């Protein structure tokens, strides 16, 4: 049998066509990602600025695809440099077209401990430290949640950092997120609306960060959401929320966490300014709106975030019970 002399040429041609197709796909994806990351800036940037962003994103995507093809899921040093370059362009353009982003840092003010309680198996309190005058705060929280919602909570802490600061927070009470602690500042608890919004926000942190939703000791699953000290499971609420709303621009948010520039660029994507902090805070803010507001209309980003929880029958049932207890 004679060997076809045209076969090597055909193979080379097919390889070139395939490479051209992949290049076009990469360029198209870089263009889509540029529009997503620019956000409001997309209507203002010059063609030169857009080309600069698209070119850097093309390089970033090529590095990412090569890394993921080797089952490596941590960003390379080259990717990190490109993300920082892109963020600098976005921040510069934000100042130029949208206004000066604010800068902030963590509040260094200490909290004053007022009382600590152990939560009993029946949901009552046993005082450990401080004045025994804050049981009504615990009862207020219990009254806003369906029965059994606080079964995983082992501790209740009362603190203050002054008015109009931190109203409440939740944290794991063990290394695995099985048992939890709730803390409330009575100085901020008189505003009923703010109290309700904060309780549901903080309770969402428990719902999305407990041991059934994330791991505090295991390695991240490929492509799933992870942050310092925890990694979401593939089927978790938080990972589903991340996949639906954050994959295009999380790296940009993390590149400048102390700047409000990201929110200025993407204000239409968030129900509140605080929601733009990261996916964990975004899902918690969206959950509070899901509980306290009527079902959102339309297909915009904020409507989809607020309505995200209806896809989970257990969360829809939680909402109905909570609203019934609130008299809504």
**pTM check: above 0.85:** yes
Total domains, the chain: 3
Pick 91 or 131 by higher pLDDT. 91
For 270, the token pair is: 């968030």
Helix (H) or strand (E) holding 261: helix 261-266
For 166, the token pair is: 């931190």
Examine residue 43 and state whether it is found in any structural domain, yes or no. Answer: yes
Examine residue 33 and state whether it is found in any structural domain, yes or no. Answer: yes
- Is residue 237 located within the same domain as residue 162? no
70 — pLDDT class (breaks 50, 70, 90): confident
State the residue range of the domain holding 278.
214-326
Residue 132 predicted with pLDDT over 60: yes
- Is residue 169 located within the same domain as residue 220? no
Domain end residue (candidates: 190, 225, 251): 190
- Is residue 218 located within the same domain as residue 322? yes
Query: Helix, strand or coil for residue 256?
Result: coil
- Is residue 252 located within the same domain as residue 316? yes
Examine residue 234 and state whether it is found in any structural domain, yes or no. Answer: yes
Mean pLDDT in the chain? 91
- Is residue 142 located within the same domain as residue 90? no
pLDDT digit string (tens) for 166-225? 999 999 999 999 999 999 999 999 999 999 999 999 999 999 999 999 999 998 888 999
Confidence (pLDDT) at 1: 45
Confidence (pLDDT) at 277: 96
- Is residue 84 located within the same domain as residue 120? no
Examine residue 209 and state whether it is found in any structural domain, yes or no. Answer: no
Domain end residue (candidates: 97, 131, 158): 97
Angle at CA of residue 234, ends 230 and 235, nearest 5°: 115
Examine residue 6 and state whether it is found in any structural domain, yes or no. Answer: no
pLDDT (average), residues 286-302: 97
- Is residue 33 located within the same domain as residue 82? yes
- Is residue 163 located within the same domain as residue 127? yes
- Is residue 239 located within the same domain as residue 318? yes
Examine residue 16 and state whether it is found in any structural domain, yes or no. Answer: yes
Domain end residue (candidates: 35, 64, 97): 97
Examine residue 163 and state whether it is found in any structural domain, yes or no. Answer: yes
User: Which residues, other chains included, contact 307 with Cβ-Cβ below 8 Å and sequence gap of 6+?
Assistant: 290, 295, 296
The lowest-confidence range among 113-122, 132-141, 157-166, 263-272 is 157-166
Examine residue 32 and state whether it is found in any structural domain, yes or no. Answer: yes
- Is residue 229 located within the same domain as residue 317? yes
- Is residue 221 located within the same domain as residue 277? yes
Give the start-end residues of each E strand in the chain: 112-119, 125-130, 153-160, 168-172, 180-184, 214-215, 226-227, 230-232
- Is residue 29 located within the same domain as residue 122? no
Confidence (pLDDT) at 274: 96
């Amino acid at each position: 049998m004679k060997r076809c002399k045209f076969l090597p040429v055909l193979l080379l041609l097919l390889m070139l066509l395939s490479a051209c197709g992949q290049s076009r796909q990469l360029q198209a994806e870089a263009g889509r990602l540029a529009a997503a990351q620019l956000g409001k800036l997309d209507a203002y940037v010059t063609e030169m600025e857009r080309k600069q962003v698209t070119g850097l994103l093309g390089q970033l995507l090529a590095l990412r695809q090569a890394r993921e093809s080797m089952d490596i899921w941590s960003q390379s040093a080259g990717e990190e440099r490109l993300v920082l370059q892109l963020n600098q362009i976005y921040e510069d353009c934000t100042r130029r077209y949208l206004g000066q982003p604010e800068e902030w840092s963590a509040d260094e003010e200490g909290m004053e401990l007022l009382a600590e309680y152990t939560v009993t198996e029946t949901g009552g309190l046993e005082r450990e430290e401080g004045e025994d005058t804050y049981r009504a705060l615990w009862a207020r929280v219990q009254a806003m949640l369906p029965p059994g919602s606080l079964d995983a909570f082992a501790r209740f802490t009362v603190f203050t950092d002054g008015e109009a600061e931190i109203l409440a927070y939740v944290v794991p009470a063990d290394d695995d997120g099985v048992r939890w602690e709730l803390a409330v500042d009575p100085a901020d608890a008189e505003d009923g609306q703010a109290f309700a919004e904060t309780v549901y926000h903080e309770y969402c942190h428990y719902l999305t960060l407990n041991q059934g939703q994330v791991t505090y000791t295991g390695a991240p699953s490929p492509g799933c959401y992870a942050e310092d000290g925890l990694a979401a499971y593939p089927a978790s609420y938080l990972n589903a929320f991340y996949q639906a709303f954050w994959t295009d621009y999380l790296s940009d948010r993390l590149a400048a966490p102390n700047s409000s520039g990201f929110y200025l660029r993407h204000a239409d994507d968030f129900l509140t300014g605080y929601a733009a902090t990261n996916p964990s805070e975004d899902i918690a803010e969206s959950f509070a709106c899901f509980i306290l507001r009527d079902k959102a209309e339309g297909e915009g980003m904020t409507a989809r975030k607020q309505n995200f929880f209806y896809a989970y029958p257990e969360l829809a049932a939680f909402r109905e019970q909570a609203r019934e207890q609130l008299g809504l």
